[in-house]
Structure 1
Amino acid sequence: MAISSNRIIGLTQELQIEQSCHVTDLHIGWQNEFATQQQKAPSGRYFRAPVVTWSRDGVTHQYVPTLHFVEARQGFEVDADRLMTDIKRQLLNRDIPSVAA
């Protein structure tokens, strides 16, 4: 099974998110670590979601976001804007679980 794992959020964007959300050690990793990272587009093609890790107040948090898709010329692609919005929302919420699902 082929899985698309292109880096959708670059290092510059990652730093901007870290600063705007007032967290430390933000890392948006695309390595294959959890089964929940493998997510299927409406076309049936699989994409790899990132593992998002960060620290706040000395506590390390980690989660795998749910990918949303938009139609593109060649099928479906990850909605990068929605992914960034979802990550920011999680970083700003202090009551999220600290273990990837």
Structure 2
Amino acid sequence: MPWRGQAVPRYNKRRKKLPLEVQRALNDVQTAILKDPFVGEKKRGALSSVWVEKFRAQDDQYLVAYEIDEKVQTVTFLDIGQHENFYRDLERYRKTRQSGE
């Protein structure tokens, strides 16, 4: 049974700004993640609850960050972007998001 997906507002905003070709490739990646969320790479340290899947589109590499909730079989998409400062920005975003909850 496929997992249920949801996305934080930051992810949706960044997704809308991507070129159409990249959005299409991202749709395929999201579908693959929802079929098997453990396909990505689990991060360590401050981002230990985050998984990242990499994909290529328009001769660039993109990263999709997500969290897995096994209890309710939900994948929460956190961020999409290219590698430059991706992890640093993601860590900052998660800290502000957690302090706001």
TM-score, structure 2 normalization: 0.33
The structure richer in helix per residue is 2
TM-score where L is the length of structure 1? 0.33
